[in-house]
């Protein structure tokens, strides 16, 4: 009688080996994530994935820095994203690209608040603020933002309390290190397991602070303290990353991962970005964060159609 080989937990520093089992990679079967996200002023239906538009009102973001630093240009861009089908427009006033220098809360507020105020008055899409600072969160919510998207997962002093007190939805992102140094030597034993546990622990911290479960989504932080192999392992295992079934937000748009694979500059990474958007949805992403809303929404719709066909819902 053949002996059964004992199977124990794998431990490897090679992130590229941490993959789903046979037949699971890029499955079109819909994972069981939470199908709604409660924002401050509405509930976002996630039965079908949606697109979040990236609106950087900064002079130094990696892809569009300086293009929308003026209020009029930023508002026009946000309106265009809403017209193209963005469910959320995410306004950020501080670049978090690798090596980015921090800005003060006062400067961040000066950049984002006028844009948020005007967008809330003009578009039907929800408006979120991309920030880690509690002062900016409060100012943005007072201006009309209904969600906080935080690359530090509400870990700065006072951030958790600010988000809880504002009654908004939150996106908790994983980042190893800080923007200035995060890409120096990213290191994990098992990247998928470690990122999942971090997101689950931050979701528990939110619950303890009084943030309702239906207000929480999570983001693996593609490109934030990860090598290309780490990023690909996470994207191939999104179904494992929804901490306790929470919605997963993914942002790969124009990032260096796309450039490494395709050899293209940020402004020429549309095709690679929308390919990743479709594959992320196939793997279970509920929200796709993107610079190019119309093209990304097309890719998301294609992935949804295939998923329906695969599950017999068509």
Active site residues: 255, 289
Residue 78's closest CA among 312, 293, 306, 313? 293
Gap between the Cα atoms of 269 and 255, Å rounded: 8
Strand partners, 36: 45
Burial of 185 from C-beta contacts in 10 A (0-12 / 13-18 / 19+): exposed
Gap between the Cα atoms of 314 and 90, Å rounded: 32
**Using CA atoms in the order 189, 193, 195, 197, what is the torsion angle rounded to 10 degrees?**
-120
Number of neighbours of residue 302 by Cβ within 10 angstroms: 15
């Amino acid at each position: 009688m053949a002996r059964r080989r004992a199977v124990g937990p794998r431990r490897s520093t090679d992130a590229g080996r941490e993959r789903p089992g046979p037949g699971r990679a890029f499955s079109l079967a819909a994972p069981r994530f939470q199908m709604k996200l409660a924002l401050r002023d509405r509930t976002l239906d996630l039965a079908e994935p949606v697109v979040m538009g990236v609106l950087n009102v900064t002079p130094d973001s990696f892809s569009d820095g300086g293009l929308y630093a003026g209020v009029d240009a930023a508002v026009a861009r946000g309106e265009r994203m809403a017209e193209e089908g963005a469910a959320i427009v995410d306004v950020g006033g501080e670049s978090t690209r690798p090596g980015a220098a921090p800005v003060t809360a006062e400067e961040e507020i000066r950049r984002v608040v006028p844009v948020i105020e005007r967008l809330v008055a003009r578009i039907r899409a929800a408006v979120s603020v991309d920030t880690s600072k509690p002062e900016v969160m409060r100012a943005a919510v007072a201006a009309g933002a209904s969600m906080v998207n935080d690359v530090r997962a509400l870990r700065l002093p006072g951030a958790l309390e600010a988000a809880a007190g504002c009654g908004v939805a939150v996106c908790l992102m994983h980042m190893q290190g800080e923007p200035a140094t995060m890409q120096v030597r990213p290191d994990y034993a098992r990247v998928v397991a470690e990122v999942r546990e971090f997101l689950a622990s931050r979701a528990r911290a939110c619950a303890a602070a009084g943030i309702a479960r239906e207000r929480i989504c999570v983001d693996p932080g593609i490109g934030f303290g990860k090598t290309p192999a780490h990023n690909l392992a996470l994207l191939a295992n999104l179904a494992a990353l929804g901490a306790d079934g929470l919605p997963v937000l993914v942002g790969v748009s124009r990032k260096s991962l796309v450039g490494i694979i395709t050899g293209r500059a940020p402004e020429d990474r549309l095709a690679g970005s929308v390919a990743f958007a479709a594959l992320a949805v196939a793997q279970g992403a509920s929200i796709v964060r993107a610079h190019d809303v119309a093209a990304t929404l097309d890719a998301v719709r294609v992935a949804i159609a295939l998923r329906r066909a695969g599950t017999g819902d068509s």
